[in-house]
Amino acid sequence: MTELHELSALTLRNALARGAIGAREVTEHFLRRIDALNPQLGAFVTVTHDSALAEADAADTRRRTGDPLPMLHGLPLAHKDLTDVAGVRTTLGTAALDPAVAAEDSPLAAVLRTAGAISLGKTQVPEFGLSCYSENLIAPPARNPLDLALSPGGSSGGSAAAVAAGMLPFAPGTDGGGSVRIPAAATGIVGLKPNRGRVPAGSGQADLGQFVVAGPLARTAADAGLLLDALVRAPNYRAMSAASRNGRTFLDAALRAEGRFRIGVSTVSPFSAALDVAPETVSLEALDSGIRQLQAAGHDLVEAPLTYDPRYASAFQSVWTAGLATAPIPEDREEHLTDLTRVMRRRAQRRGAPELAAAIDILRQFEYDTILQYSAYDMILTPALGMSPRPIGWYTDSNADTDYERQCRYTPYTSMVNVCGLPAIAFPTLTTPEGLSMGVQLIGRPSDEAHLLAVCAQLETHP
């Protein structure tokens, strides 16, 4: 008999909508999974048993009364511990600040609550979401369900581990430099970074670099499309938004799985000018496997001779860490920061406005130049990661600069997509003899998440 956690989010959604199963039964099942698995995985920092069950009971009552059901009626998920949820503590992954119990939902939590989803708690993150691994000083590290000695990546690592382990059917993540795609690739699931301006509650238009967007972590393209449909159903109070889908849903795009595309292939990274970036053999094997699968699905794969501004690495670090300069951390609490955060914060505080403005100018020109190059293709294909998932503690066993350099070499292909504001999806294409998952990243044209989901779905049907 199929267990509830083995069902797709879409199948669960449909069963809940027709009353074949109740929200309380689903919620209890996933809470039991979390209680059983989290001591080993460290995916959750906080589990909200009581409030989740109360919300499930309310969802069941709503269905019995015949009221219209929202899109995600009764579906469980969880939020990163960077996202405020009413009545739940937020730690931001740091020991330098006292956890605060949120008085109200953040916009991201609010839109998913309105969609009928039930939050089961908060998932593990790096301090302030700064890193591509989910380790901090306040709770056990998140671990990779495929090998507990390895990291699931970050910063959405706790959420990705929970989805990969069947503790959740899907989950929202946030992605400022790869934080959805990296852990998806490390744990063998699907991670979609939407276009800048697509998701009102995480539009990529609020932070200095316009990097951070909210997007889905899921086990299938259809589940990712379903969650994205819920995320975009909110008012957008910014002047710039991603192009309208004209009434078509992202779920529909994944289910139709249509299209044949010209895809440019590249292993060039914008970090190469500053760092030794050479993808491991296993990363190239996953890329080659992806190429074969895409060709078998009817796509035209060609080499893309891309070039990137050699100033990228320095400019990105300057803008990525700029927010640390003004983070409200009392001076006497700075000793409780991780080494990486403390060093990057001090550098950010010493950086002058002209230097920061110059870095932003470099990245805005980088956006223009890169999108111009990509426009010769329908999509760009890269490895998802530069190497196989790293051991717990690998980043932090040295100094802050080594930590950061290791992150860039592990994830050399993701942050450039955030700088450009483009949509991108990571999905698995290879299972190693050790049972690890490796995958690829597809970068789409502006506002073209639908075709990325369609191609991902094609390979799920015909791997």
The CA distance from 308 to 23, in Å, is 49
Alpha helices (H) along 82-177: 107-114, 157-164
- 119, 155, 159, 203: the active-site residue: 155
Q: Is 80 tagged catalytic?
A: yes
- 134, 151, 179, 266: the active-site residue: 179
Q: Is 122 tagged catalytic?
A: no
The CA distance from 180 to 316, in Å, is 18
Q: Which two tokens stand for residue 461?
A: 């049907």
The CA distance from 431 to 463, in Å, is 12
- 80, 119, 159, 203: the active-site residue: 80
Q: Which two tokens stand for residue 161?
A: 């581990």
The CA distance from 35 to 25, in Å, is 15
Q: Which two tokens stand for residue 278?
A: 């050479």
CA 141 distance to own-chain centroid:
17
The CA distance from 38 to 42, in Å, is 5
Region at 346 (left for phi over 0; alpha for psi -120 to 50; beta for the rest):
alpha
The CA distance from 365 to 351, in Å, is 21
The C-alpha angle with vertex 343 and arms to 339 and 346, in degrees rounded to 5, equals 140
Q: Which two tokens stand for residue 306?
A: 């891309």
Catalytic positions:
80, 155, 179
